[in-house]
C-alpha cells in the first residue's frame, strides 16, 4: 500500500494529551503528524470541557458574589443575563486558546491532518476527512483519542432537552427546571452554573455521597451550601425511566428521598465518561484494548506493541487534563529515546464548584481501606482571618501524614480557591516533606494558603488553640 504521508511520529487525537505529545515530539526532532477529527485542536478540555466550563463558572461566581455583597452593605440589582453575550464570552475564551494551539503547531512544523483516524496495520493509520481518505505511515505512534460522555441506554437522546455535558455547555437556554443525573464533578459544576443563571436545579446521585472519590467531610460544606442555595440533592436515587413528553421530560425515580418534581425542562446526564480505545481498529495494529475501551500501558506509556504508546483519558482514571499532558510529554520523550518512566500517584482532583473541593495523594478513605497508619492535621477556615474577611468560613484544610515518618501523603481542601491551594500540597508530597517542613514554611499573611502551614502545625501539636 502506498502511503500519502510518511512520518516518524503520528499522534492520534489533539486533546491536552495529544497536542502536548505532538509538540514535545517535534521539539525533540521527531517529524510529527497530528490527526484530529475536529477542525480545532484542544480536544474535550479546550472545546467542550475544562475551559468553557470554567468560563461559565466564573460568570456564576460573579453573580453569587454580587448577591453576597449585601452582607457588607453593597447591593446590586437582580442579574440581567444576556445569554448570547455569555455564550460569546465562552466562545471567545475557547477560540483564543485553540487559535494559540494552531499557531504553536505551525511554529513547530507539526503537520495537522483533519479526519477520523483508524489503524490499518502496526505502522499505518487511515484518516477519513472531508476531502477523502489518506494513509499515513509512521515509525512510532501515540494514541490520544480521549473519551466521551456515557450515554445511558433507554434515555431519549434524540430529544435536545436530554443533554450530555457538551450540550449543557452550549447554553441553549436557561431551563426553568433542570435535572442533573449524576452528582460527580462535572454534574455539580454544571448545576452550579445553571443555578446561578436562574434554573431550579435537582441533582440525583446513585451512590451515598456527592462527588464519590472525595472524602465525605470534604464534600459536606459543598452539600450544605447547595442546600442553602435551594439546589435539591438526592442521594441513593436512580433516574429509572426518562421519557420525552411535549410538556417536558418525564422522569421516574427509584430510591428513598425522591425529588418532588417529575417533569423537567431539561435533563443533564453526567454519569461518567467512556474511553475511545475501542473505536480505532486498534486490533489491526495488534494493540490490546479492554472490554470497556481502555488501552493498558506500562510505566513508559507503551502499549503491548512497543512502538505504539497511549496516553490520557483512554489509559485510565483519573480522567483529567493535567494527567493527560504529563503522560503526553513522557510518551514523546520516551519515543525520542529518553530513558524515563512515571507512575502517577500525585494527581490533584479539583471540583470548581462553590466552594471548590480539591484533593491530592492518598485520601483518608483510601488510607482506611488500605490499613495505612496515618494521622490528620485539620485547620478550619473559621480560624483564618482571610476566610472571615471574605465571609467564607465553611472551608477547611486537612493534611494526611504517615504516622511512622510524619511525611505528608495526602491532602484535601474545601473552600474558595481550594483548587489553587492544593498545588502546594502536591509539591510537598512529591518532595517527601515532613509536617515540620510544611509548618516551618512561612506563608504570607493573611492568605488562605496559611491554612496549609497551620494544618501541619496542628498535626505536630505546635498549635493547640486555633485563634
Residue 319 near ligand FAD by CB under 6 A = yes
C-beta closer to ligand FAD: residue 277 or 453: 277
Give 156 or 272: the residue with its C-beta nearer to ligand FAD. Answer: 272
- According to CB under 6 A, which one of 28, 61, 67, 116 is a site residue for ligand FAD? 116
Does residue 448 bind ligand FAD (CB under 6 A)?
Answer: no
Q: Do 370 and 431 meet the contact criterion of CB atoms below 8 Å apart?
A: no
Prior bond of 56 cis (ω within 30°) = no
- Interface with ligand FAD (CB under 6 A), residue total 35
Query: What is the rounded distance in angstroms from the CA atom of residue 117 to the CA atom of residue 133?
Result: 9
| Contact status, residue 175 vs residue 194, Cβ threshold 8 Å | yes
Q: Does 35 bind ligand FAD (CB under 6 A)?
A: yes
50 binding ligand FAD? (CB under 6 A): yes
Q: Is 458 a binder of ligand FAD (CB under 6 A)?
A: no
Q: What is the DSSP string of 253-265?
A: EEESS--S--EES
Per CB under 6 A, the list member of 34, 181, 324, 409 interacting with ligand FAD is 324
- Name the minimum Å distance from CB 70 to ligand FAD: 30
8, 87, 111, 322: which one binds ligand FAD (CB under 6 A): 322
307-335 burial, b for 16+ CB within 10 Å, e for fewer? Answer: ebbbbbbbbbeebbbbbbbbbbbbbbbbb
Segment near ligand FAD (CB under 6 A), from 10-18, 154-162, 300-308, 338-346? 10-18
Q: Is 369 exposed, middle or buried (0-12, 13-18, 19+ CB in 10 A)?
A: exposed
Does position 363 interact with ligand FAD (CB under 6 A)? The reply is: no
Q: Does 184 help bind ligand FAD (rule: CB under 6 A)?
A: no
Under the binding rule (CB under 6 A), the answer on residue 320 touching ligand FAD is yes
Q: At closest approach, how far in Å is the CB of 241 from ligand FAD?
A: 25
Neighbour-count burial of 354, counting CB atoms closer than 10 A to its CB (0-12 exposed, 13-18 middle, 19+ buried): buried
Beta-strand pair 408-415/356-361: antiparallel
Footprint of ligand FAD on residues 139-158 (CB under 6 A)? 144-147
Q: Which of these segments, 42-50, 59-67, 404-412, 452-460, binds ligand FAD (CB under 6 A)?
A: 42-50
For 269, what's the count of Cα atoms within 13 Å in the CB-facing half-sphere? 24
Q: How far is the CB of 368 from ligand FAD (least distance, A)?
A: 26
Q: Is 213 left (phi over 0), alpha (psi -120 to 50) or beta?
A: left
CA–CA dist 142, 126 (Å, integer):
15
Query: Residue 227 burial by CB count (10 A; 0-12/13-18/19+): exposed, middle or buried?
Result: exposed
Residues numbered 251-310 forming contacts with ligand FAD, rule: CB under 6 A:
276, 280
Q: Which stretch binds ligand FAD (CB under 6 A): 75-83, 222-230, 315-323, 440-448?
A: 315-323
Closer residue to ligand FAD in complex, CB, 147/384: 147
Q: Is 18 in the site for ligand FAD (CB under 6 A)?
A: yes
The answer to whether residue 117 forms part of the interface with ligand FAD (CB under 6 A) is yes
User: CA distances (Å), 195 to each of 55, 77, 180, 334, in order?
Assistant: 15, 17, 11, 46
The yes-or-no answer on residue 417 being catalytic is: no
* Position 22 contacts ligand FAD (CB under 6 A): no
Using the minimum distance from each CB to ligand FAD, give the nearer residue, 16 or 410: 16
To ligand FAD, the closest distance from the beta carbon of 248 in angstroms equals: 24
Helix (H, G, I), strand (E, B) or coil at 115: coil
Is the separation of the CB atoms in 365 and 216 below 8 Å? yes
Candidates 27, 28, 37, 206; binder of ligand FAD (CB under 6 A) is 37
How far the first Cα of the chain sits from its last, in Å, is 75
Q: Does 183 bind ligand FAD (CB under 6 A)?
A: no
- 44 contacts ligand FAD (rule: CB under 6 A): yes
In whole angstroms, the minimum distance from the beta carbon of 295 to ligand FAD comes to 11
Q: At what angle do helices 50-68 and 83-107 cross, to 10 degrees?
A: 140
* The one segment of 3-11, 14-22, 386-394, 398-406 that binds ligand FAD by CB under 6 A: 14-22
* Closest-CA residue to 354 (of 270, 413, 416): 416
Question: According to the binding rule CB under 6 A, does residue 321 interact with ligand FAD?
Answer: yes
Crossing angle of helices 185-197 and 50-68, rounded to 10°:
50
Minimum CB separation of residue 370 from ligand FAD in Å reads: 25
As beta bridge partners, residue 6 has 137
Q: Exactly one of 11, 56, 60, 186 binds ligand FAD (CB under 6 A); which one? A: 186
Binding site for ligand FAD (CB under 6 A): 12-18, 35-38, 43-45, 49-50, 53, 116-117, 144-147, 165, 186, 276, 280, 312-313, 319-322, 324, 352
Q: Which residues are catalytic?
A: 445
Amino acid at each position: 500500500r502506498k502511503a500519502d504521508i510518511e512520518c516518524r511520529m503520528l499522534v492520534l487525537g489533539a486533546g491536552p494529551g495529544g497536542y502536548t505529545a505532538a509538540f514535545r515530539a517535534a521539539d525533540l526532532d521527531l517529524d510529527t503528524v497530528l490527526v484530529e477529527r475536529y477542525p480545532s485542536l484542544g480536544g474535550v478540555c479546550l472545546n467542550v470541557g475544562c475551559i468553557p466550563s470554567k468560563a461559565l463558572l466564573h460568570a456564576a461566581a460573579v453573580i453569587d458574589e454580587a448577591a453576597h455583597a449585601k452582607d457588607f452593605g453593597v447591593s446590586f440589582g437582580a442579574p440581567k443575563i444576556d445569554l448570547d453575550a455569555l455564550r460569546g464570552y465562552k466562545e471567545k475564551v475557547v477560540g483564543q486558546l485553540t487559535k494559540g494551539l494552531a499557531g504553536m503547531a505551525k511554529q513547530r512544523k507539526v503537520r495537522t491532518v483533519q479526519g477520523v483516524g483508524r489503524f490499518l496495520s502496526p505502522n499505518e493509520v487511515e484518516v477519513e476527512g472531508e476531502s477523502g481518505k489518506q494513509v499515513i505511515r509512521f515509525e512510532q505512534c501515540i494514541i490520544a483519542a480521549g473519551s466521551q460522555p456515557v450515554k445511558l441506554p433507554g434515555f431519549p437522546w434524540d430529544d435536545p432537552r436530554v443533554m450530555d455535558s457538551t450540550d449543557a455547555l452550549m447554553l441553549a437556554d436557561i431551563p426553568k427546571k433542570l435535572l442533573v443525573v449524576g452528582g460527580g464533578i462535572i454534574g455539580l459544576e454544571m448545576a452550579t452554573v445553571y443555578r446561578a443563571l436562574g434554573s431550579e436545579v435537582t441533582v440525583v446521585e446513585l451512590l451515598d455521597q456527592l462527588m464519590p472519590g472525595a472524602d465525605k467531610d470534604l464534600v459536606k460544606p459543598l452539600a450544605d451550601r447547595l442546600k442553602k442555595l435551594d439546589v435539591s440533592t438526592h442521594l441513593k436515587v436512580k433516574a429509572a425511566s426518562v421519557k420525552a413528553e411535549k410538556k417536558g421530560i418525564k422522569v421516574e425515580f427509584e430510591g428513598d428521598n425522591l425529588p418532588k418534581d417529575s417533569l423537567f425542562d431539561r435533563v443533564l446526564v453526567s454519569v461518567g465518561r467512556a474511553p475511545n480505545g475501542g473505536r480505532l481498529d486498534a486490533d489491526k495494529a495488534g494493540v490490546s484494548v479492554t472490554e470497556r475501551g481502555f488501552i493498558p500501558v506500562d510505566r513508559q506509556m507503551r502499549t503491548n506493541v512497543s512502538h505504539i504508546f497511549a496516553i490520557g483519558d483512554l489509559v485510565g482514571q483519573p480522567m483529567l487534563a493535567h494527567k493527560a499532558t504529563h503522560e503526553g510529554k513522557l510518551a514523546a520523550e520516551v519515543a525520542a529515546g529518553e530513558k524515563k518512566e512515571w507512575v502517577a500517584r500525585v494527581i490533584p482532583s479539583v471540583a470548581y464548584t462553590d466552594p471548590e473541593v480539591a484533593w491530592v495523594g492518598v485520601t483518608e478513605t483510601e488510607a482506611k481501606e488500605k490499613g495505612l497508619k496515618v494521622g490528620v492535621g485539620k485547620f478550619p477556615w473559621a480560624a483564618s482571618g482571610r476566610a472571615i474577611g471574605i465571609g467564607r468560613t465553611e472551608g477547611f484544610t486537612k493534611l494526611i501524614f504517615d504516622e511512622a515518618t510524619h511525611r505528608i501523603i495526602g491532602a484535601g481542601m474545601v473552600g474558595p480557591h481550594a483548587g489553587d491551594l492544593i498545588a502546594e500540597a502536591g509539591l510537598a508530597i512529591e518532595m517527601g516533606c515532613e509536617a515540620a517542613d510544611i509548618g516551618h514554611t512561612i506563608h504570607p499573611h493573611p492568605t488562605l494558603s496559611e491554612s496549609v502551614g497551620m494544618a501541619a502545625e496542628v498535626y505536630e501539636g505546635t498549635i493547640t488553640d486555633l485563634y
